[in-house]
A and B are shown apart, each in its own frame.
Chain A
Amino acid sequence: MTHHPGPAEVDASVNEAGEPGVKPPGSSGFLASWRARLRFLLAVLASRPLFAVGYIIVFAVILLAIFAPWIAPYHPEKANPTDYLQAPSWRHLLGTDQTGMDIFSRIIYAPRIDLTIAIGGTAISAIVGSLIGAVVGYYQEMGGTRSLAAGFIMRTADVLQAFPVFVFAIALVAIFGQSLQSIIAAIAFVNAPIYLRLMRSQVLSIRNMRYIEAAYVSGANDMNIMLRHVIPNSMAPILSQLSVNIGWSVLLTAALSFVGAGVEAPIPEWGSMIAMGFGNIITGQWWPSVFPGIALGVTVFGFALVGASVEVLADPARRRALAGTLREKKRPNAPSKQPAEAA
């Protein structure tokens, strides 16, 4: 967590700009081409099957969201009152809920809403949060009105973060009105301080590096330094946060819908489906709530795994250690040249 990649450590796959000057001196050519990267990724997935599971889950959920109309056997919002609360059977694979809607079809349609909200909210909060964080971190120690403004922004973030997350999110949805956009806005609002802080602390440690000084001396303006040097070199912790955050936002969306402040009833969404089945589970009909909960849990689990893999892959030291162990595995008899770094 406290690892700050300096210029020498940030190699090709982190620095997307592809400047030839910032290759790590020790391992020239490591992960230089896209094909090498792909081969490396496959090797990692083969040795860490859990990561592969994560990618498969996320990929499958996205496919479901896209191809829902072709996969789902029934219309997700059409109730068939004669078929209410049917137990799982061949006709209704996962049963029907109290209004007679097919649960399997609704579960397949749900990621359309859930993922849109979660990915949209996370993307907005990451972009806005890290931009503000970069500016704050860059100007904080410059003195004068700039550091005053930076301090004010940080205190505001303090106050915003002092709110109980969930009540804050519900209040935001209540203010903006119950719509898709306002749920996205609420999630973006709640998450933004995380990125602000991450980026700020990252920039604070990077802005004193020699290469920033060099850029400044050679006449680059603040804007240029920030966009070309500071931000690209501060991205690693943000990237590893993204996927975990998407999963967490899916949970938050479901929770909002569960209390009735999120997506409204007939629209297929996991949280509201769980809420709808709440009355039934006490009387013994478990399927309306259990299946959407499993779908929700598996999805969040998948995003968490992808996040964990990004955390390893985005950290140059841990990635190189992993590459070392992979190489050792390939040649079990050869003496290991790579000192096995503890990841």
Chain B
Amino acid sequence: MRVLRYIGRRMLFIVPQLVGIVLVSFLLVKMIPGDPAVMMVGPMASAETLAKLRTELGLDGSIMYQFWIYLTNLVQGDLGTSWQTTRPVLNDLFVRFPATLELITLSLLLALLIGIPLGVAAAYFRRSVVKKFSDYYGLLAGALPDFWLGMILIYFFYTIFQIAPAPLGRIGFAVMTPSPVTNFLIIDCILEGNWQALWSTLGHLILPVVTLGVITAGPILKMTQSTMERMLESDFIRYADMCGLPKSVVIRQAFRNSLPSIVTIVSVLYGFLVGGAVLVEIVFSWGGAGQYAVQGVLNADINPVLGFVLFSAVLSLIIYLIVDLIYFAIDPRIRG
């Protein structure tokens, strides 16, 4: 019951915030110079067709009027059309968001696999090589540009050793792609039992996932390490230690109490990566959501940008909700 009431109260705040985000992004994108009508028909079109198209698109009304049209369409599930792909933005996003989510979810998993054990070890063995290594790792991971690291990996594993597939999208050209159901390629391949496609998909995922995972492990490592250090110094862990509990139990207790801050940093990173993975997406021609939005901004294509911002805002709200639920599960104080 408490959970439901909590979620309900959350929702009350979400709607105005969403409208605010849409309004700000609408005004923002409208300020970008460049006339979509001119972009659509080209510079050679007559003034007549241009005027007709502008009326059709609702471009001759005031900004607030245009925003009103956008909102009413939005409520009906219409996010407009992208003039670049000439397809409804909603359809485009349903293809591209899963591509990004697949990439960043796996990257975060890898980052957790690297960051948590290293962080715990560095916090426990405070005067060891592990601690030194993780200090350097945290600093370096924050300093390296991810797009550059991706290119280095491509150079070694594609150009030199020729074991990785070409950095051109999510699946090989010669492979039968599975029929799109969820647009998460891994899931689609498994649903169809298309093992060849699954193999190709996994092969294409390795380099971008390693790129993002290695970089994202930095902040997770730092957070794990600092929280674990604080926990290991806290009175209840010292007490447990003095009582003679085995080291593994002490570490496990300290780790369990560090979980909330690790969950928080993971959720922040997840929200950040939705847009932040765009550079790696570009390097690997991934066709993800961030790439779609960046193309939109660079070509005065408004609807994809708005759609992307809206989708990622909703996504981060969902993530925060899930995080709250996880807090409920792991922190008995909240459960009350």
Chain A residues with a Cβ under 8 A of chain B = 155, 158-160, 162-168, 170-172, 174-175, 177, 247-248, 251, 254-255, 258-261, 271, 274, 278, 281-284, 286, 289-290, 293, 296-298, 300-301, 304-305, 308, 342
Contact = CB atoms under 8 A, between A and B. Distances in A.
Interface string B285-309: 0000010011001101000010011
Contact of B32 (A155, A158, A174, A247): A174
B276 A175 contact: no
Given A255-B145, A278-B283, 14 more contacts: A164-B276, A167-B309, A174-B297, A175-B32, A247-B142, A247-B143, A248-B142, A281-B155, A283-B159, A284-B159, A289-B151, A290-B155, A296-B148, A297-B148
Contacts, number: 136
Given A170-B298, A286-B155, A164 B309 contact: yes
Contacts of A297: 140, 143-145, 148
A300 B143 contact: yes
Contacts of A290: 152, 155
Contact of A293 (B29, B32, B145, B278): B145
Given A261-B298, A289-B148, A171 B279 contact: no
Nearest to A302: B143
A258 to B, nearest CB: 6
Interface stretch (B17-25, B43-51, B116-124, B187-195): B17-25
A218 B300 CA distance: 58
Interface in B305-330: 305, 308-309, 312-313, 316
Interface in B253-282: 272, 274-276, 278-279, 282
Contact of B279 (A172, A177, A258, A301): A258
Interface string B230-251: 0001000000000000000000
Given A165-B276, A177-B33, A261 B297 contact: yes
Question: Interface on chain B toward A: helix, strand, loop, or mixed SS?
Answer: helix
B283 A160 contact: no
A164 B290 contact: yes
B31 interface: yes
B148 A159 contact: no
Question: Interface on chain A toward B: helix, strand, loop, or mixed SS?
Answer: helix
Contacts of A271: 145
Contacts of A160: 24
Q: How large is the interface on B (under 10, 10 to 19, 20 to 34, 35 or more residues)?
A: 35 or more
Contacts of A162: 17, 21, 313, 316
Contact of A166 (B33, B143, B275, B298): B275
Interface in B151-172: 151-152, 154-155, 158-160, 166-167
Interface string B120-144: 0000000000000000000110111
A255 B149 CA distance: 13
B269 to A, nearest CB: 12
A318 to B, nearest CB: 13
B16 to A, nearest CB: 9
B272 to A, nearest CB: 7
Contact of B275 (A164, A174, A248, A260): A164
In the A-B complex, the 10 residue pairs with the smallest Cβ-Cβ separation, listed nearest first, are A164-B275, A293-B148, A301-B143, A300-B143, A175-B31, A174-B32, A159-B20, A297-B144, A170-B297, A281-B155
